[in-house]
Structure 1
Amino acid sequence: MCTEHSSNKKTDSTNKTAHDQEHATWNRRSFIQALGLAGAGSMVLGGSNVSATAPSPLSVALSQAENDNILVIIRLKGGNDGLNTIVPVYNYDTYANLRPTIKHQQSDLLMLNDDFGIPNYMNPLESVWGEGSMKIIHGVGYPEQNLSHFRSSEIWASTQADSFEPTGWWGRYFEDLYPDYLINPPAVPPAIQIGSIGNLIFEGTDNNYAFSVANPNQLANVAENGSLHDVINIPDCVYGDKLLFMRATANTTFTYAGVINDAYMASTNNAPYTTQPLSDQLAIIARMIKGGLGTKVYMVSLETFDTHANQVENHETLLADLALSIKNFYTDLATAGYDDKVLSMTISEFGRRPYENGSNGTDHGAASPTMLFGAGLNGSGFVGDHPNINSSAWDNNDNLVPSTDFRDVYSTVLTDWFCLDPSVVNTILLNETYDNLDLGFNCEALGTQDFNNISTLFHIPTYRNNSTFIEITMTNSARVDIKLYNILGKEIATLSNEIFYPGTHVVDVKLKANQNLAYGQYIYRIHTGGQFYSKSILIK
């Protein structure tokens, strides 16, 4: 036991040891992100006993359209070299002349058809291809490719290339599906993300909709134990009180730890996974899927594909891990009958230049293939046209010109895999319409639901002169009830319960609360027109 204000050196030493041990295992960034203080997490009120909400018309439509299908996004972080992944044998001489040092010998290729082959170290995919569970989309990218890792990753996540868009395509989907997410989240995490923390793909206007962990070890700890931190063996002192609060809040924040643990423990792996990075991640995901977790979207990461130098060795290590991991993943899923319910899709922020550089590598490029896996593809094959690799066809930056827009891929997955109405898909893709590709799956028509008259409430927190406000824009007159909660789900105050007329209304949070509010994170919840909306807010 430690004693408050003790000057005993032994006690001080014990406290320092406990403090040091805590810092050795405590990831401050993960804690802050989980709390939502950095806009990268929003699980803080999952355990609060708040009544269920009335769903919006759009959320009903999305829920009705949902099926049992699952998507696993495999991020090849760093920019994958497409020409050394899917080798254009039909024009092998040109390919070889562009890459005299790093080219694959024809004798070392496994031919998928007469025109394209994969390196022999990807041989686990030979049987996947033969079983009809693999498709390759040629030349995926977007016009005027940005060659920055960060900016291009944002574009792939947000679908917006012309200007910065702070939300992601899956974030927008889940935001419409769960408008009251902070107060009344779904029973299972909408998405699970390993690595790539900070990527926009699951980011909504105010929430991140993924249960995010930095690495597979962190997720394995949650899956195996059901919580993050011990709240029993706590020293009895001021330090212990603070430690208890931090640990308990973190455990409450990760409200989905319990359901993840239940699903993980309800199944086992039935494939010979290795200890390579992607293999570790997919092994955990397979157990959660087979255990019936119900999460719709997973994202894993494999890095780094930024092969400016020593590409031959580095690329082989990465692609060998990808190939064997995919093979084992689907072998594992098939033992429980999930192989046709899970679609895996690779993404990478860009490809590489068609020619090698002076360091036995390739520099940032443009078009690159997207690979899809799963029995739901109903046959293996190639989709689209391969980019012309002759130098006369390159763009002004000496890059391959994309033949397939990556948003066509997204649109197809949303429309034909998840069976969403095309008008909803257009909203998710920022009101742009993209072409659907023939990927081997499709959905029956969803009916004639009217999405044209759906409206959502515009509301944002604003800050000025050391005060905190909520701005609400009304399109029609309605009673508006606004309540304020702390981060543990306790109601603090009613900020409004009155008729708001069309126009913009500004609510002074501290004034309306009529009490002293400590500095920190809170949640406000609006109830109007039979619908609930919630966001996090900072009291200054």
Structure 2
Amino acid sequence: MCQHHSPQNNKDLSHDEEHKIWSRRSFLQALGIAGTGTMMLGTNSISASSVSPLTMALSQAETDNILVLVRLVGGNDGLNTIIPFYDYDNYVNARPTIHIPQDSLICLTQDFAIPNYMEPLQAMFGEGKMRAIHGVGYDDPNLSHFTSSDIWATAEDEDRIRNGWLGRYYEHLYPDYFINPPENPAAVQIGNFANLVFEGYDKNYAFVLSGTNQLQDVAENGTMHDMLNLPDCTYGDQLEYMRGSINTTYTYAEKIHAAYGRASNAVAYQDTGIARQLATVARLIKGNLGTKVYMVSLGGFDTHSGQPERHSKLMSELSDAMARFYEDLDAGDMSKYVLGMTFSEFGRRVFENGSEGTDHGAAAPILMFGPGLNGNEFIGEHPSLSATDRGNLVSSIDFRDVYATVMAKWLCIDETVVSEALLDKPYEALELGFDCNGSSTPNPTEQSIGAYMRHRPYYPAENTPYIYFELPVTAHVDIQLYNMIGQRVASIANEMMFSGSHKINIKEKINTRLHTGQYIYSISIQDKKFSKSVVIR
């Protein structure tokens, strides 16, 4: 019987070739060729999503709640993270050399245990500050690091979408986000692991600062780039875009530096990468930066060989850092507002390989932390160790169900907007212990039409850009075209329109020569604005 330590409840690429591709992408982001604005704070690399409309939308969300995403890079072995004690014999048979011995387990319930090197999480579970979601994944899983990472980031089953589930959130708002950026960055990423989570439809260009002293110098004395004296051509438009991005990053450098300086850590963290990252996040939260989403990363989970030593080291570092992070937040009375959530691109296979490791697998648990969970519980059904899919655990919960629940019930985002951010894929909300007080979607005839508006650019023929939108009510519609830094270049429509579907040929409507490149259209209806990028060829 399991003894409680707490009183409470094959789509693989060639592996070497895969890592070449994956490393190249991380290298490009680190150089500032892709990704978001980047700077160094202490010993951490900080990326501020300075130009994604996500930053505007999240900063305006009607909640003080904060989400901290913890990315476990490489594919975390969930079966050695949450051990199914009720099926311990099958677990040991599948892993004769890498299983966690029974005398090295801490049982959180009669059925599930964690390794003793994750002991710092025992108290969090006992105090109702930890939940685990079993068997999270997706159907027909891809076992490539690169592709599966993109699938988790984009919420799309195919590797064809180049924007993330959070980056799509309210993408259609604020066409002038370079000229009028939000007061505070809403999404901050720490670390150089490339990821599409915060990518919107429009590219973000990285701006790199190489140290704390340089950050302070730029924040206090940084020279803003000239946005007026630019050539009147496509190159000039591109230069405006890049300079606007850099200027916005300067603004956020000052904000981040000030928040970091306003607070201090109330506990001593270990000298590990994940601990330093979470210590920085704690200071920014306690320093009232105003950011709603953070992402930190811990790499090294691709445990094909020598797994016992490597995995125990990583999970020990994560567990200790997470426990100290919430203790630190408690000292500032901020922990109740902060939800922590781990995720990884996939799990590992049930059976160990011949190198004391495990190969790429499928489903794995997601761990969630924080007093906002209001209890300790295991969510969903643990995948069977015997009824596997070619040695892989079969997922019982789609990862988009987790995303949707966090967006709708923690960040308090309207469910229609959540659906759009998840590409209109069906989802089931999970019971994770938190809720937004039962808020409902408004009726367009009674309140705002914002939740009912549908729009997108489309190209029925080459060089013929259209705007398609569905108007839920008859209303006055104002459609303007902006360049990528928010300067208005043409009026597309300004008139009363009946409810229903509308298609507008942009070039035909404005009858004005435009440079080739990306633009943003803005649709204003009542007190709402909707916008997306469109390509003019």
- Aligned pair partner of 1:269 in 262, 265, 268: 265
Give the Cα separation in 1 of the matches to 2:401 and 2:214.
36
- Aligned pair partner of 1:433 in 426, 430, 444: 426
User: Which position in structure 2 is the counterpart of 1:227?
Assistant: 219
User: Which position in structure 2 is the counterpart of 1:188?
Assistant: 184
Give the Cα separation in 2 of the matches to 1:425 and 1:253.
27
1:74 aligns with 2:70: yes
Deviations 1:486-538 (A, max 9, x none): 75x7x585576777995332339999368xx7x9x876564644655666788
Structure 2 SS opposite 1:324: helix
Deviations 1:428-454 (A, max 9, x none): 222233222221122322145026953
1:506 aligns with 2:498: no
Q: 1:222 and 1:189, CA in 2 relative to 1: closer, same or farther beyond 3 A? A: farther
User: How far did 1:337 drift?
Assistant: 0.9
Q: 1:222 and 1:269, CA in 2 relative to 1: closer, same or farther beyond 3 A? A: farther
Give the Cα separation in 1 of the matches to 2:193 and 2:128.
33
Q: Which has the larger radius of gyration?
A: 1
User: Which position in structure 2 is the counterpart of 1:410?
Assistant: 403
2:132 and 2:379 in contact (8 A); partners too: yes
1:472 aligns with 2:464: no
User: Which position in structure 2 is the counterpart of 1:458?
Assistant: 456
User: Which position in structure 1 is the counterpart of 2:100?
Assistant: 104
AA aligned to 1:112 is L
Query: Where in structure 1 are there 5+ consecutive unaligned residues?
Result: 1-25, 47-54, 233-244
1:353 and 1:364 in contact (8 A); partners too: yes
Structure 2 SS opposite 1:202: coil
- Aligned pair partner of 1:124 in 120, 134, 139: 120
Q: 1:497 and 1:126, CA in 2 relative to 1: closer, same or farther beyond 3 A? A: closer
Deviations 1:310-350 (A, max 9, x none): 11121122111101110111011111111111000001111
AA aligned to 2:295 is M
- Aligned pair partner of 2:161 in 140, 162, 165: 165
Deviates more, 1:266-275 or 1:181-190: 181-190
TM-score in terms of structure 1 length? 0.75
AA aligned to 2:31 is R
User: Which position in structure 2 is the counterpart of 1:284?
Assistant: 280
User: How far did 1:461 drift?
Assistant: 9.8
Give the Cα separation in 2 of the matches to 1:399 and 1:88.
16
Give the Cα separation in 2 of the matches to 1:230 and 1:330.
35
Deviations 1:242-279 (A, max 9, x none): xxx99977751413212212211111111111221111
Q: 1:95 and 1:505, CA in 2 relative to 1: closer, same or farther beyond 3 A? A: same
Give the Cα separation in 2 of the matches to 1:231 and 1:295.
25
AA aligned to 1:505 is N
Deviations 1:456-482 (A, max 9, x none): 4434799989xxx86434668977564
Structure 1 SS opposite 2:80: coil
Give the Cα separation in 1 of the matches to 2:177 and 2:222.
27
Q: 1:478 and 1:371, CA in 2 relative to 1: closer, same or farther beyond 3 A? A: same
1:480 and 1:527 in contact (8 A); partners too: yes
Give the Cα separation in 2 of the matches to 1:335 and 1:471.
54
Structure 2 SS opposite 1:285: helix
User: Which position in structure 2 is the counterpart of 1:15?
Assistant: none
Structure 2 SS opposite 1:166: coil
2:336 and 2:372 in contact (8 A); partners too: yes
Deviates more, 1:194-203 or 1:397-406: 194-203
1:484 and 1:522 in contact (8 A); partners too: no
Query: Where in structure 2 are there 5+ consecutive unaligned residues?
Result: 1-27, 39-46, 225-239
Give the Cα separation in 2 of the matches to 1:451 and 1:347.
36
AA aligned to 2:83 is V
Give the Cα separation in 1 of the matches to 2:116 and 2:350.
21
Q: 1:460 and 1:336, CA in 2 relative to 1: closer, same or farther beyond 3 A? A: farther
User: How far did 1:127 drift?
Assistant: 1.8
AA aligned to 2:162 is P
User: Which position in structure 2 is the counterpart of 1:29?
Assistant: 31
1:474 and 1:500 in contact (8 A); partners too: no
User: Which position in structure 2 is the counterpart of 1:380?
Assistant: 376
1:394 aligns with 2:388: yes
Give the Cα separation in 1 of the matches to 2:268 and 2:459.
50
User: Which position in structure 2 is the counterpart of 1:252?
Assistant: 247
Structure 2 SS opposite 1:83: helix
AA aligned to 1:458 is R
> Structure 2 matches for 1:338-349, cutoff 5 A?
338-349=334-345
- Aligned pair partner of 2:198 in 202, 224, 228: 202
Deviations 1:124-152 (A, max 9, x none): 11222222211111111112211111221
The alignment yields a C-alpha RMSD, in angstroms, of 4.1
Give the Cα separation in 1 of the matches to 2:179 and 2:534.
13
AA aligned to 2:383 is P
1:197 and 1:213 in contact (8 A); partners too: no
Q: 1:509 and 1:201, CA in 2 relative to 1: closer, same or farther beyond 3 A? A: farther
Q: 1:225 and 1:357, CA in 2 relative to 1: closer, same or farther beyond 3 A? A: farther
Structure 2 SS opposite 1:410: helix
Q: 1:374 and 1:419, CA in 2 relative to 1: closer, same or farther beyond 3 A? A: same
User: How far did 1:153 drift?
Assistant: 1.4
Structure 1 SS opposite 2:166: helix
Structure 2 SS opposite 1:172: coil
1:320 aligns with 2:325: no
1:360 aligns with 2:356: yes
Q: 1:165 and 1:28, CA in 2 relative to 1: closer, same or farther beyond 3 A? A: closer
User: Which position in structure 1 is the counterpart of 2:19?
Assistant: none
User: How far did 1:282 drift?
Assistant: 0.8
AA aligned to 2:355 is S
Q: 1:271 and 1:369, CA in 2 relative to 1: closer, same or farther beyond 3 A? A: same
1:193 and 1:299 in contact (8 A); partners too: yes
How many residues of Structure 1 are paired with residues of Structure 2 in the alignment? Answer: 472
1:183 and 1:525 in contact (8 A); partners too: no
Deviations 1:90-143 (A, max 9, x none): 222221121111111111122212222212221211222222211111111112
1:417 and 1:441 in contact (8 A); partners too: yes
User: Which position in structure 1 is the counterpart of 2:84?
Assistant: 88
2:454 and 2:470 in contact (8 A); partners too: no
User: How far did 1:179 drift?
Assistant: 5.7
Structure 2 SS opposite 1:301: strand
TM-score in terms of structure 2 length? 0.75
Q: 1:250 and 1:68, CA in 2 relative to 1: closer, same or farther beyond 3 A? A: closer
Q: 1:339 and 1:219, CA in 2 relative to 1: closer, same or farther beyond 3 A? A: farther
AA aligned to 2:219 is S
Identical positions, percent:
43
Give the Cα separation in 1 of the matches to 2:51 and 2:112.
49
AA aligned to 1:165 is I
Give the Cα separation in 2 of the matches to 1:185 and 1:461.
30
- Aligned pair partner of 1:449 in 442, 449, 453: 442
Q: 1:442 and 1:494, CA in 2 relative to 1: closer, same or farther beyond 3 A? A: closer
Give the Cα separation in 2 of the matches to 1:431 and 1:166.
16
Give the Cα separation in 2 of the matches to 1:394 and 1:32.
38
2:490 and 2:510 in contact (8 A); partners too: no
